[in-house]
Amino acid sequence: MTFEARLRDRDDWSIGDHCSAGRVLDLLSTRTVFLVVRECFYGTTRFEDFVVRVGTSAPAVSRALKQLEAAGIVERMPYREPGRRAREEYGLTAAGEDLLPVFLALMQWGDRYLQDGAPPLAFVERDSGAEIGVQVVRDPGPHAKSGDIEIRLNRR
C-alpha cells in the first residue's frame, strides 16, 4: 500500500483514536471475546454452551457477551422451554454478521501459517461444496453470508 501525496509525511498527521483497525482490536481485545464471536458463527446461542465451547469461566463469557452486546455485535433474544422460566439466547446482529470476512480471513491465515499439515476444518459453500476464501478484490461481487457456509471436517 502507498499513501496519497498529502499523507506521505506520517509525522504530519495522525488518526490516533480514529483508527478503525485499532477500534476493532479494542472491541475484540481478548481471546474470549473473539471465541464468543466464533461460536456465534458456529451457531452457539445459549450462555452455558458458550462457557463450555469457549473453555473459560462463566464470568469471562458474561463480560464478553456484554461487551459485544454494547457494541451492537450480538443481541439477546428471549426463549422459553416448556415448564421453564423465560431465558435469553444470543445471536449476531447485522454488524456481527459483517464480521464474517474478518473471522474467515483470520482462520484462513492461521490455516496457512500456523497449522502443521491440513487445517482441521474446511469452510465450503453449502450448495456447491466450493471452498470459501477471503481475498482483497477491486470490485466485489455478491458475498456469502454465514448461513450459506457449511463447516466440514477437512479430509485432505
* pLDDT tens-digit readout, 11-31: 777 776 778 888 899 999 899
The rounded Cα 22 to chain-centroid distance in angstroms is 16
Which long-range contacts does 132-140 make (Cβ < 8 Å, 24+ apart)?
Answer: 132/104, 133/104, 133/108, 134/101, 134/104, 134/105, 134/108
Give the predicted TM-score (pTM) of the model.
0.84
* pLDDT tens-digit readout, 61-113: 999 999 999 999 999 999 888 898 989 999 999 999 999 999 999 999 999 99
